[in-house]
Structure 1
Amino acid sequence: MQRKLGRRIKKINDSNNFFYLTLSLIALLISGSLAEVVGEGVIDHILQGFIIWTFIVCLASLRFDRKWFHFLASLTAVWVAVFILKSVLNIQQMDVVMLALTFAFFFATFQSTAKQVLFHGNVNANKVIGSIALFLLLGLMWAIVYLLILEFSPSAFTGMESLTWGDNFSNAAYFSFVTLTTLGYGDISPVTPFAQVVVYLEAITGVFYMAIVVSSLVSANIEHREDKNG
């Protein structure tokens, strides 16, 4: 099993790393929807397993950026330690710490990915997929922010009950991406002023992200052609 995992990780290189990163993020999002199938309680373990797997793939995909790799590895070690501590001692307050660490991990992953994808170098399929990974990371980060808000203010949103963050993950992710794409279905909506501010900030980010990604990829491609032509 370890050998197979090692072989798969070795297949990840700087020409396909964002394919694996994007697939792992999609798998994490799909895992949250399993709550409807397996029921409450079990989903926490499934989701945490997928989060750990996503961390591993992120580390393998971004190991070419040494600065961020060491930081991400440290966050992963701390996350696992907190997870074990919570499982052994059954301390529910650790949920906030786990969510904060998960946000920090995805934020660092976003930073490293953006550094490799945007504004420089030749635009290829891997970089285009990397821009999709950036979009997924944005949605996931805001979903975690909503889960943190629910930890402190359970009635901050209509349409989301006061459940464990694992059971609410799918709803938070759904609401996050609906907001990020400015669809605004209205089945989930913010109630408190702070939640409302966070929601419209995400909508603004979603609009600007599209413009920034398109302009950066185009400018990077033009710059690469000019350098190539001398």
Structure 2
Amino acid sequence: MAGKITAENNFYYMTLALIVLLVSASLDMVLEIKWLDALFQVLTILTFVVCLVSLRFDKAWYRFLMTLAVIWAVLALMKAVFDVQQTDIAMMLLMFTFFFGTFKSIARQILFTGTIDNNKVVGSLALFLLLGLMWALLYLLILEFSPTSFTGMEHKAWGENFSNAAYFSFVTLTTLGYGDISPVSPFAQVVVYLEAIAGVFYMAIVVASLVGASQSNQSSVSTSQEENDG
């Protein structure tokens, strides 16, 4: 993997950035050091930047995602300087929209398109991480409007609760269902089982895409060999 982000390695960088974001959120909760919260905010912005640079090859979404990232950074600065708590919901909505746009751009580039390579395989992992992150933000938004919607997850500032929401999201997405966090309200229950369905459906889509791309590669190789033999 070269030091410069290109169309041949962009999903490596994006996946790494998403993993660092998830790890930093968990460290913020475990260590409970004040400056770690600021570090989490910085890493979130860096994740946006990496996603933007990685997706600059998709011109249709690049400007839209850039606008969302700039607005999010401004809101984060307002909260840090002026302590405006009302910005939390707006920030989460912007993050969700940003991750959704990123997901859609990546899916358009790797699923059922062209030949398969290592970069696209890693891109499928980035898609899975983005799915979990989007649902985590949905759970945090639900807590903002209905603090008793989940057992085992208290209503806190979204940055403090992000790791819990992400944990529950990925446990649901993989259909593990440990039971330490559970939905209580009917709306939360619907969102949770929709994520479980999406997780199973996503795996089927990825497998079908990889198999289809592999068969396409084999057909192309066979055709080339026949032409050379002819």
The question of 1:152 aligning with 2:132 is answered no
Percent of aligned positions that are identical:
60
The equivalent position to 1:215 in structure 2, one of 201, 208, 217, is 208
How far did residue 87 of structure 1 move? 2.3
How far did residue 42 of structure 1 move? 4.0
What RMSD in Å do the two structures reach over aligned CA positions?
1.6
The question of 1:35 aligning with 2:18 is answered no
The question of 1:14 aligning with 2:1 is answered no
* Structure 2 partner of 1:197: 190
Three-state SS of the structure 1 residue aligned to 2:44 is helix
Distance 1:151 1:36 in 2: 19
1:120-131 equivalence runs, <5 A:
120-131=113-124
Aligned residues: 222
Segment drifting more, 38-47 vs 163-172: 38-47
The equivalent position to 1:51 in structure 2, one of 24, 37, 44, is 44
Structure 2 counterpart of 1:20, one-letter code = Y
Three-state SS of the structure 2 residue aligned to 1:121 is coil
Structure 2 counterpart of 1:207, one-letter code = V
Distance 2:214 2:108 in 1: 15
The question of 1:66 aligning with 2:53 is answered no
Deviations 1:136-174 (A, max 9, x none): 000000001001111111111100112111111111000
The equivalent position to 1:177 in structure 2, one of 160, 170, 178, is 170
Distance 1:150 1:40 in 2: 24
Distance 2:7 2:218 in 1: 21
Distance 1:169 1:186 in 2: 18
Distance 1:37 1:211 in 2: 35
How far did residue 220 of structure 1 move? 2.3
* Structure 1 partner of 2:104: 111
The answer for unaligned runs of 5 or more in structure 2 is 225-230
Normalised TM-score (structure 1): 0.92
* Higher Rg of the two aligned structures: 2
